[in-house]
């Protein structure tokens, strides 16, 4: 795995905007960074792909163990009213993309190591699926790329289309950066490519029809199916949480992704994975208790690296601010990321669709990967 300096295309902004990535610059510096790329061998990609498939297997087994043991589920700080809906959805396997991004540490020498699984509100999807492929085709057409994301998404929508209602709503929060809007717009495009009728919606515009006992959009039309890029842990704590629990029990709205994603996206699963699979080559030791050695403290519920701190030699060497942490922390053994360039530590985001490895993207930042991390494309060259 080698970081190579490259020359950005003269019209790179227009090129990525044409692919839908309007959020390509943050605080005056490129978020989409094509001034460099990462080169992998086919053998390295095969190792990442195999680790991704193996981690998915571990998460399936962990889900079974957690939902079979009330004491384990209690560690997740999930409101009790949603414990049974999670169990019901896990057993029923409702139509879903089953999409997620494993964030991995990898130095090209040892096995990939799991940092966390972003499977409830995963972003950087358009960049990984479309934008970096378009860049490769324009700049390095003879190189390969670990990237079957777009085709996998369209195929999965087509697969579940017969089990969906006539229209699927797509919703996100009204946030400043536009990152969520870009991700949801892309997923909506993949659904329409599969022949599904869709409608756009802001989360704030979702209402509750008291007479019909169901969720409705801004035009008072029933929301029969909803893809939402919005954390389940927020939904279960908002004013309409009782109505949400009622809707889940009655099945009046099909939620994509399902409510059981709350357990996989919660950092509490990291110590449980280690307890179930001690010494596994793709896992880092993790605990609910502060360990003796170097470790990373992670809130159970957080986004974009917020409130993460790195402890080495008995002192904090890096930390990120944020509004998370009230639900508690887990502690994961520190993994030394390669410093591919001064101040650039790459984290691999390995994607699954329908539980199968489908592609990857790379973000680079300082020791803690936060919301200012840059997305850097990759190629496969032997």
pLDDT tens digits, 72-113: 998 999 999 999 999 999 999 999 999 999 999 999 999 999
Domain presence at residue 288: no
Q: What is the pLDDT of residue 128?
A: 97
Per-residue pLDDT band at 236 (split at 50, 70, 90): very high
Give one word for 99, left, alpha or beta, with left for phi > 0 and alpha for psi -120 to 50. Answer: beta
User: Among the listed ranges 212-216, 295-299, 309-313, which one has the minimum average pLDDT value?
Assistant: 309-313
pLDDT tens profile 295-304: 999 999 877 7
Per the structure, the complete domain to which residue 202 belongs is given by 2-266+337-380
Candidate from 171-185, 211-225, 315-329 with smallest mean pLDDT: 315-329
Domain presence at residue 368: yes
Cis peptide before 257 (omega within 30 of 0): yes
User: Which has the minimum average pLDDT: 141-145, 288-292, 299-303?
Assistant: 299-303
pLDDT attached to residue 14: 95
Mean pLDDT of the 205-233 span: 96
pLDDT at 25: 81
User: Would residue 272 count as lying in a domain?
Assistant: no
Q: Is residue 196 part of a domain?
A: yes
128-157: average pLDDT: 97
Is residue 161 assigned to a domain?
A: yes
pLDDT band at 11 (very low <50, low <70, confident <90, very high): very high
Q: Tell me if 316 is assigned to some domain.
A: no
Q: Is residue 24 very low, low, confident or very high in pLDDT (cuts 50, 70, 90)?
A: confident
Query: Is 139 within a domain?
Result: yes
Q: Does residue 285 sit within a domain?
A: no
Domain count across the chain: 1
**What is the pLDDT, as a whole number, of residue 376?**
97
Contact in structure between 229 and 180 (CB atoms under 8 Å): yes
């Amino acid at each position: 795995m080698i970081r190579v300096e490259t020359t950005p295309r003269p019209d790179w902004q227009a090129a990525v905007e044409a692919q839908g990535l309007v959020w390509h610059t943050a605080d005056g510096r490129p978020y989409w960074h094509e001034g460099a790329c990462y080169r992998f061998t086919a053998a390295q990609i095969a190792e990442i792909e195999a680790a991704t498939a193996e981690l998915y297997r571990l998460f399936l087994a962990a889900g079974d163990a957690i939902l079979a043991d009330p004491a384990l589920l209690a560690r997740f700080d999930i409101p009790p009213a949603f414990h049974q809906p999670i169990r019901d959805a896990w057993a029923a396997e409702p139509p879903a993309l089953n999409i997620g991004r494993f964030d991995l540490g990898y130095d090209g020498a040892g096995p990939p190591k799991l940092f966390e699984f972003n499977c409830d509100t995963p972003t950087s999807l358009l960049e990984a699926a479309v934008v970096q492929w378009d860049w490769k085709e324009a700049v390095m057409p003879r190189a390969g790329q670990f990237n079957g994301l777009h085709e996998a998404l369209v195929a999965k929508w087509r697969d579940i289309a017969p089990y969906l209602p006539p229209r699927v709503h797509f919703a996100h929060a009204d946030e400043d950066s536009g990152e969520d809007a870009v991700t949801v717009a892309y997923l909506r495009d993949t659904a329409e490519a599969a022949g599904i009728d869709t409608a756009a919606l802001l989360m704030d515009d979702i209402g509750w029809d008291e007479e019909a006992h169901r969720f409705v959009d801004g035009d008072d039309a029933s929301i029969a199916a909803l893809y939402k890029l919005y954390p389940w842990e927020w939904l279960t704590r908002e004013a309409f949480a009782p109505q949400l629990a009622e809707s889940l029990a009655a099945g009046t709205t099909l939620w994509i992704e399902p409510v059981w994603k709350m357990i996989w996206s919660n950092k509490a699963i990291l110590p449980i994975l280690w307890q179930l699979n001690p010494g596994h080559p793709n896992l880092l030791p993790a605990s609910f208790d502060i360990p003796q050695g170097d470790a990373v403290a992670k809130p159970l519920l957080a986004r974009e690296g917020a409130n993460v701190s790195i402890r080495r030699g008995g002192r904090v060497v890096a930390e990120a601010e944020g509004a998370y942490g009230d639900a508690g922390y887990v502690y994961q053994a520190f993994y030394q990321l390669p410093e591919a360039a001064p101040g650039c530590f790459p984290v691999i985001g390995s994607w699954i669709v329908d539980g199968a490895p489908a592609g990857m993207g790379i973000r680079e930042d300082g020791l803690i990967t936060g919301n200012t991390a840059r997305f850097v494309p990759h190629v496969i060259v032997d």
